[in-house]
Structures are given as structure tokens and as C-alpha cells.
Amino acid sequence: MSVYREIARNGVWKQNAILAQLLGLCPLLAVSTNFVNAVSLGLATILVMAMSNLALSSLRAFIPYEIRIPIFILIIAALVTVVDLAFNAWLHDLYLVLGIFIPLIVTNCIVLARVEAFAAKNAVGASAFDGAMMGVGFVWVIGLLGAARELVGQGTLFSGIEMIVPSLQGWQVLPADYPGFLLAILPPGAFILLGCLIALRNWIDARANQRLAQRRAEAFAGT
């Protein structure tokens, strides 16, 4: 069980696709203008990553090293297209908003990176779980970024939720006459906020390491 725990820790924090590896920035910056869009694309990415890791891990015995990349891409592209069709058919309004970014999941390097680095070498269950956890790491960061940009930029949260759950409504957090802060919505705002998130992560990690070192030193002194 500790294997799965390690996978989860890697995906969500230690090797977080965005905060630690800085992969998949294009969709991250483009779609995180509000929370609902961000999380929707994130969920689609989880789905694709879990499925591609599952599929390629179960085929790994048959795939020769020399032609692995075309096979990986072929299968990932097919899976993404299936997800794209499903969104178009059953979540049509959301599909219109996310537009080109669903097919572009193919080019999200997190997907290929996890297939290459993990699924090609590990058992099926662990691989599917790794894909899902890397996806979760992507979702919480893009969701946080989306919420922050939406709140600062427009003063709302969850706007557009009616595209997924028709009975719900977006939430006007700040007064309705809030003029908005354009920078947060534009790409530079995404870069600035992302930078802050990365700094925060590094700070938390540095502090944890420092504490660990201190505790070790104390334990050493005690012996």
C-alpha cells in the first residue's frame, strides 16, 4: 500500500506536474481565467492521463523501445479524441467554452511524460493510479489559479457553473459594481500568480526540510 501512497504524494505535491515540473503551462495559463473552466479542463486531463497510463501499461510488454513514441502518441491522441467527442455530445456548452483546449490535451507534455516515465515501466494498477494522481496535482493547481484569477479579476466565483449543473448559479463574491482587475484575467496575471504559487510551494518545502534537519540534529545530539 505504501507504493500507492508514494505515488499519490508524488503526483499531488512532490513531483507536482505544474509546481515542481512546470509541465503543461499552455492550457494552464489559457484556461485558468475562471474556476469552472479550469477545473473542467483539469478533470478531462485526469481522465485522459488515467486512461492513457492504463492502456499503455497493459500493452508495455508488446511495445519495442524503438517505436514506443509513435505508439504512445497514437493511443493518447485516440483517447483524447474520444474525450473530445464525449464533451461535445454530453457537455456541449462547456465544450464550446473549452474549445481547442480539449484536443490540445494531446500536446500536454504531462501526459506523454507520465506514460514514458511511469506507465512504460510499472504495473497496470499503479500506472493508472499514477496518471490519476498526476492529474489531481494538475487539477488543484489549475483550480486554485482559476479561482484566484476569477475572484481578483471579476469578483465572482464559480461563474459558468450552470453549464455543468443547470440548477446552480455563479457566486458574486465582491460587490456587483466591482470594476474588475484586468491584469488578473490576462496572461501576465496568470504568470504572476503562478510564480507566487511556486514560491509558496518552495517556501513550504524549504521550511519542512529545515525542520527535518533540526529534528535530526536534536536526535543526534540526544544519543
Q: Rule CB under 8 A: say whether 92 interacts with other proteins.
A: yes
Is residue 30 classed exposed, middle or buried when 0-12, 13-18 and 19+ CB atoms within 10 A define those classes?
middle
| 78 belongs to the binding site for other proteins (CB under 8 A) | yes
**180 scored as a contact of other proteins (CB under 8 A):** yes
Interface mask toward other proteins for 108-147; x: CB under 8 A: ----------------------------------------
Phi, psi of 215 (to 5 degrees): -65, -40
Identify residues 40-69 at the interface with other proteins (CB under 8 A): 61-64, 66-67
**Among positions 69, 74, 199, 208, the unique one binding other proteins when judged by CB under 8 A:** 74
The rounded distance, in Å, linking the Cα atoms of 48 and 70 is 17
Q: Please tell me the number of Cα atoms within 13 Å of 13 on its side-chain side.
A: 10
C-beta of 23 vs 80, nearer to other proteins: 80
CA-based torsion, 30, 104, 55, 43: positive or negative? positive
Q: Give, in degrees to the nearest 5, the angle at Cα 41 between 102 and 173.
A: 140
Residue with Cβ nearer other proteins (62 or 220): 62
User: Per CB under 8 A, does 77 bind other proteins?
Assistant: yes
CB nearer to other proteins: give 7 or 193. Answer: 193
Taking every pair of Cα atoms in the chain, the longest distance, rounded to a whole number of angstroms, is 66
User: How many Å apart are CA 187 and CA 174, to the nearest integer?
Assistant: 22
Residue from 1, 89, 219, 221 touching other proteins (CB under 8 A): that is 89
Residues in the site for other proteins, rule: CB under 8 A? 33, 61-64, 66-67, 70-71, 74-75, 77-79, 81-82, 85-86, 88-90, 92, 96, 153-154, 180, 182, 185-186
